[in-house]
């Protein structure tokens, strides 16, 4: 691992501690304004609300590490959520595991479409996923129109499926347990498997990664497929949690996901960051959104907060990169000067 990569990762990893401090500050302010904010039920709701965003943020992290991005996550989430509803309309006794696997599979297919266009056709990810954002959403609306189903409600789904979204184990929501399990697997894979470490290498220096024999195209394609599968799972869990599904589910969710990832310390320029940081970013932004009404801030500012957090995080990323680059230039200059003497 190069000195630059080590320092970059260390700098961005330090932001995770900053997120924890900011989280404590937000929770503290909201608790002072409303003591029930930190109650057992309040904490239950906070973790529950952050779970789906954290799940999507894990998948998005795999892409951002490689200098890519997926803006179609909201549309894919809506498509897989609508698939879940349709399956229960066809047969209310459909096994829950079958619905979950179908959502994951559809999400993986959507991810494969994005991945093929990026990794094989060499089209920039920003362009590809901006286009598929509208394509997948259009498919969602066309599907709803073709089946003449504008909305699927909770009473049309099986109780077992709904309990997946609303149930808990020892007070911990099922959705949070699922998100934590995915987070643990992703964190372990990124740091202990060669394929995970190669994602960092691709993002740090794509040219050097290719010269080192890393199959960049295959790894990027795989990251898109995995990310799509996690978005598919998120869509199914959204349906199970809210119990009401229409073709507009997930609209605008891409901003929250990208903001969570970048705020969580994953460098938008690639090569550094962790899924743990992304999950903490999701928890922080969700907590801020929940705290705003408690602090008397109008609801229409909630999206503005996400956008402002994204801008601040990207600016910090840029400042860190410029500082590290300047420091490396100074060290190289001193080494050359020492060698000359």
Q: Report all structural domains of the chain as residue ranges with CATH numbers, in order of start.
A: 3-328 (1.10.3470)
Identify the pLDDT of residue 14: 64
Confidence of residue 1 (pLDDT cuts 50, 70, 90): very low
Average pLDDT, integer, range 261-273? 86
Whole-structure pTM value: 0.88
pLDDT of 120 strictly over 60? yes
Cβ atoms within 10 Å, residue 249: 23
Distances (CA, A) of 274 to 14, 58, 234: 11, 9, 20
Which helix (H) or strand (E) segment holds residue 168: the answer is: strand 168-169
pLDDT of 328 strictly over 70? no
Confidence of residue 2 (pLDDT cuts 50, 70, 90): very low
Tell me the pLDDT of the chain averaged across its residues. Answer: 87
Cβ-contact 95, 164 below 8 angstroms: no
Identify the pLDDT of residue 9: 52
Average pLDDT, integer, range 212-219? 92
Average pLDDT, integer, range 259-264? 90
List, as one string, the DSSP characters of 239-288: HHHH--EETTTTTTHHHHHHHHHHHTT--TTSS---HHHHHHHHHHHHHH
pLDDT tens digit string along 175-193?
999 999 999 999 999 999 9
Identify the pLDDT of residue 8: 52
Average pLDDT, integer, range 256-271? 88
pLDDT of 338 strictly over 70? no
Distance CA 62, CA 200 (A): 9
Distance CA 230, CA 104 (A): 7
pLDDT of 245 strictly over 80? yes
pLDDT of 113 strictly over 50? yes
Identify the pLDDT of residue 56: 96
Tell how strand 168-169 and strand 151-152 pair up: unpaired
Identify the pLDDT of residue 104: 97
Confidence of residue 325 (pLDDT cuts 50, 70, 90): low
Place of tokens 């903490």: 280
Average pLDDT, integer, range 57-75? 95
Strand, helix or coil for residue 123: coil
- β-bridge partners, 152: 245
Burial grade of 254 (CB within 10 A; 0-12, 13-18, 19 or more) = buried
Write the CB contacts of 246 (distance below 8 Å, at least 6 apart in sequence): 82, 144, 150, 151, 152
Does residue 77 or residue 265 have the better pLDDT?
Answer: 77
Listed range (56-60, 221-225, 265-269, 316-320) with the worst mean pLDDT: 316-320
Identify the pLDDT of residue 3: 47
pLDDT of 300 strictly over 90? no
């Amino acid at each position: 691992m190069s000195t630059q990569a080590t320092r970059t990762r260390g700098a961005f990893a330090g932001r995770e501690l900053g997120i924890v401090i900011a989280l404590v500050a937000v929770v503290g302010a909201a608790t002072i304004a409303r003591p029930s904010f930190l109650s057992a039920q309040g904490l239950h709701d906070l973790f529950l609300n952050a779970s789906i965003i954290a799940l999507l943020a894990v998948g998005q992290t795999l892409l951002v590490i490689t200098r890519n991005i997926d803006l179609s996550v909201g549309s894919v989430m809506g498509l897989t959520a609508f698939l879940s509803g349709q399956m229960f309309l066809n047969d209310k006794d459909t096994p829950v595991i079958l619905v979950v696997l179908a959502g994951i599979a559809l999400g993986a297919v959507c991810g494969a479409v994005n991945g093929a266009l990026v990794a094989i056709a060499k089209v920039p990810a920003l362009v590809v996923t901006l286009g598929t954002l509208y394509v997948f959403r259009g498919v969602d609306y066309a599907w709803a129109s073709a089946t003449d189903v504008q909305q699927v409600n909770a009473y049309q789904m099986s109780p077992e499926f709904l309990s997946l979204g609303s149930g808990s184990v020892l007070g911990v929501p099922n959705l949070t347990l699922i998100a934590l399990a995915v987070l643990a697997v992703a964190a372990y894979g990124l740091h202990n498997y060669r394929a995970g470490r190669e994602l960092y290498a691709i993002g740090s220096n794509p040219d050097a990664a290719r010269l080192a024999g890393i199959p960049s195209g295959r790894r990027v394609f795989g990251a898109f497929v995995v990310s799509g599968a996690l978005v598919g799972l998120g869509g199914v869990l959204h349906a199970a949690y809210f119990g009401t599904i229409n073709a507009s589910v997930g609209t605008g969710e891409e901003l929250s996901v990208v903001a969570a990832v970048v705020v969580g310390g994953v460098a938008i320029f690639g090569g550094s960051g962790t899924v743990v940081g992304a999950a903490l970013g999701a928890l922080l932004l969700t907590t801020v959104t929940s705290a705003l009404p408690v602090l008397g801030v109008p609801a229409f500012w909630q999206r503005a907060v996400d956008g402002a957090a994204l801008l601040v995080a990207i600016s910090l990323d840029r400042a860190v990169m410029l500082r590290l680059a300047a420091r490396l230039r100074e060290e190289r200059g001193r080494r050359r000067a020492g060698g000359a003497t």
